[in-house]
Amino acid sequence: MTAHTNTAGTWTLGDLTVNRVGFGAMRLTGRAAFTSTGDGASRDRSIAVLRRAVELGVNHIDTAAFYFSPRLSANELINRALAPYPDDLVITTKVWPGRDPSGEWWWATPGQLRGQVEENLRQLGRDRLDVVNLRVPPSERTGSIAAHFGALADLRDAGLIRHLGVSNVTPAQLAEARGIAPVVCVQNPYGVGSPAGQRELLRLCGEQGIAFVPFFAIAGAGREAGAGATSGSTSGSGSGEPEAVLDIARDRGVTAAQVRLAWTLGQGAHVLAIPGTGDPAHLEENVAAGALVLTEDEMKRLDAIS
């Protein structure tokens, strides 16, 4: 199953039009992207994956300065692979979390966000960032984000950022951000089996014309570790995949990951997918999933998974 990513349609992030199947850069640096241990990623292969993604029509790449392993940086790989950038390429990044060279996490104050933005600019080799998401830490899931989002709004007014988004937020935090500056996208965890609370935010984004960009749409409960080694298989059990996903994959002759992506895109025209991989074959499969349209019955079977 092969297809150009345009088959899934487009959406706009402010004044930027993107194809609904994009690319997440986290896995370019290997599965150890958030640790100080070794990684299994290859620089040449990661660069080849990025270039192939653009050839397939991907024009929306999600990244962050904190996506790095001991040998590789996602931002710098993007720069190396794609600069000078295509005119229609939209690169989205995120700030608030940070990691020091040893891999230890830290969280920026509002006054430190400019430094994080400038680091993304330097690594990517750009004068202005297309979209910057404020990634809310778990400790602030019920707190105010006004000070941090207001600082990003000031950086947008200063010309360093074109558009703003939010990530890992509640409906109340989205409303708070929108009271400060326009929000073009929301990045939250979402996929087959997501709880009702996450679905409510997806609905709200659709009503407000905001792109909803789920992460872990394929990985599910595997999160940063990724989907199980056999979760893409169309046969057999023990993969950790719900039977409904595997049954539909077998019936359609596709992978479980493609079923998950098709279900995600079927949630609404405002839903964008950013599956990530460092594997060229998986990239082709992910892009091809944009052409897979599930039936109403198949969507209902997947909706029922809890």
pLDDT digits (tens, 9 = 90+) for 189-216: 999 998 887 889 999 999 999 999 999 7
Cα(287)–Cα(20) distance, integer angstroms: 10
Q: Which residues contact 11 (CB under 8 A, 6 or more apart)?
A: 17, 18, 20, 211, 269, 270, 272
Residue 231: its pLDDT value, please? 40
Over range 170-177, report the average pLDDT. Answer: 97
Over range 18-28, report the average pLDDT. Answer: 96
Q: What is the pLDDT of residues 126-141, one digit of tens each?
A: 999 999 999 999 999 8
Residue 177: its pLDDT value, please? 98
Fold of 12-187: TIM Barrel (3.20.20)
Over range 150-179, report the average pLDDT. Answer: 98
Tokens of 117: 């933005």
Better pLDDT: 36 or 299: 299
Least confident piece of the model among 98-107, 162-171, 220-229 = 220-229
Per annotation, catalytic residue among 67, 85, 215, 263: 67
67 among known catalytic residues: yes
pLDDT band at 156 (very low <50, low <70, confident <90, very high): very high
C-alpha distances in Å from residue 10, one per residue of 60, 164, 266, 290: 11, 19, 13, 11
Better pLDDT: 231 or 99: 99
Residue count of the chain = 306
> Among residues 21, 33, 32, which one has the least CA distance to residue 61?
21
Least confident piece of the model among 93-102, 238-247, 248-257, 273-282 = 238-247
Least confident piece of the model among 175-179, 233-237, 265-269, 288-292 = 233-237
Q: What is the pLDDT of residues 82-101, one digit of tens each?
A: 999 999 999 999 999 999 99
Q: Which residues contact 105 (CB under 8 A, 6 or more apart)?
A: 66, 97, 98, 99
pLDDT band at 229 (very low <50, low <70, confident <90, very high): very low
Q: Which residues contact 260 (CB under 8 A, 6 or more apart)?
A: 191, 192, 217, 218, 220, 245
